Chain A
Amino acid sequence: MDQLIRAQTSPESTTRPPIHADRLRRLQSLGVLCGFGAGAWLGAAEAPTKLVSVGISPVVISLLMVAGVFLARWSLPALVRGTGQIGWDLKQAPHLVVWGVLAGCLWAVANTLTIFAIRDVGLSIAFPLWNMNSLIGIVWGITLFNELRNAGALRWLSVLGGALLMFLGACLLAYASAAQTTPEHAMRGVVAALAAGVLWGTMYVPYRKAYLTGMNPLSFVAFFTIGELVTMTALAISYSGGPSPLLRELLKVKEVLFWLLLGGFVWVIGDLFQQYAAKYVGISRGIPLSNTNQLWGLAWGILVFGELRGRGPSLYALVIGGSLLMAAGAGAIAFSSVTGKEHGRWHEAAHREGRRYGVSADYVQAGLAGEDSNIETTGNRSRTWLDWSIMATVTAVFIGLAAVSRVPDLAANWNAAAPLIAVLLVFLAACGASLWKATRFS
């Protein structure tokens, strides 16, 4: 192994220039925008979990959403950059395959826990509990990856104070809607939601590991989704009592397959923005920003699905107060930019990873600067037959499922959904265009 590491380019001997302060500021603004975009898309992706209320097994919902995630996580990278990028990243940092698969396993278990939590205590209580993942992420960011080191007292106050405000806001929102639930298994649901928060908060350790070392988020999610699908399939078979009962259950819900897979697809768009946020502003800032998904989840719940309807004005005051607290916390974190000194500590952590795993210093440096590490493909990414085949297959799957689907029997105000969908599209356009202009999706 020592020979292997020596065979690599010395991590410190990069031929790439240092990152200019203007470039750093641009990447940070991009990360903050992606964090907010992630919040909007991840919040919208919670809507399919309402199907748990029409009698579909939580594990089946989770499995089908993961199937949608799997399709999206191979087709979107093929569309945006081509699968050739994945092969390049694989050659540069093969160890990240292990980390990607591990992160996928964590996600699958956490997602299953959230569905049990929603069943037992309701979305409005479970959501803020698992959103404590941002606090876990901050701890890992500081202790493992030098985030907030040499950042100054003001920035520590902004990030920790902002995260605390968001947590308090989340608790208020939970309290506001707790009155409408009569959970039979409250303790079980609370434990499930908290465990999901710990799993998701820890899942950002592999994320940060990958992006500090220079991997492209679009490549990382492709490996991630393998762990995710394998774990989820194993869990689903185990909970259903074998492959045959699972298959029977899947056939029973074929009319809503499309909606669940679509939910997974929407989730992936949010997750991709979250990945770019984690890459460019770190996990201690990126996760709290993407946790604004709770606000969007609440907006969907109240406006589209009629949650809290008929409640008194004091309840709405609590909801508005909680939302404002969360927004203030997110604002404090968004304005807490990374200083040059702190970014220097990120570099130390990045090159430590490079030395440990024998990754080329140029590759690591290009990743930190948001640039394409493969000079041969910069600005010239043609799609192969494999890329077009993946996109055609995924499109055919969605068209086929849509053809046999029906709108689920859920009371929903689709007029109210229209402006929320418009906001999603605005975020998609803004984040997509900014990522393209600044980094070409690097």
Chain B
Amino acid sequence: MAEPGVTQRLAAAGAAFTDPPAEGTVSTEPGALDAAGTRSPLSGLLGPAGGPVTFEERPFVGKLTLRGDPSNADFMAAAGKVLGTDIPTDPCRFVEHDGFRVHWIGFDNWLIHVPEGAEGPLKTKLEAALEGIHSAIVDVSDYYTVIRVQGAKARRLLQKGCPIDLHPRTFGPGQCAGTVFHHAAIFLAQTDADTDGGASYDIQIRWSFARYLWDYFVDGAREWGG
């Protein structure tokens, strides 16, 4: 085994790893702690490079859920002002503004994606702006991770387990949906359409289901040389 196990790599990253006094055994988990002492669920895993479908983890995307009453003009105005854009009221749509992405999840429920680290300041700003208005902002950055799937076969790969119709006639850039991929609940957003008939999707998946989904993608991409 040329590849060092997680124990060794964790040790290299400065983490103690023994249950006193027993020395641990080698793990098959490839991920290790990063320099900041944090670790994402798919850390270290690599998807197929090149080829008609590629996928990769986007670790630590900042994620906030925003709850509020869309019929409350004060709420809509205050939230929109902080975000710099009207929050979407059309079902299954998202808007992008200044590195923020605001997704419609439910009629009173939005998911905001921001660059890593921006979630804290944004939460503070939103909470201040929504003071006295019934609303809730919850940091779920670590609840989920995001897998970006793209390429000519991206849609085919997703349709191996996702029952919603991703055909360009019914689903396109700017659309998002809560749905399933076999046993996993996923939140899917189409970020852009490629020119070669493929597309790019961000799949938000719960931390504990991320490996399952990843392994499914790895297995599913094999027929295209993944």
Q: Do A and B come from one complex?
A: no
B-contacting residues of A (Cβ < 8 Å)?
none
A-contacting residues of B (Cβ < 8 Å)?
none
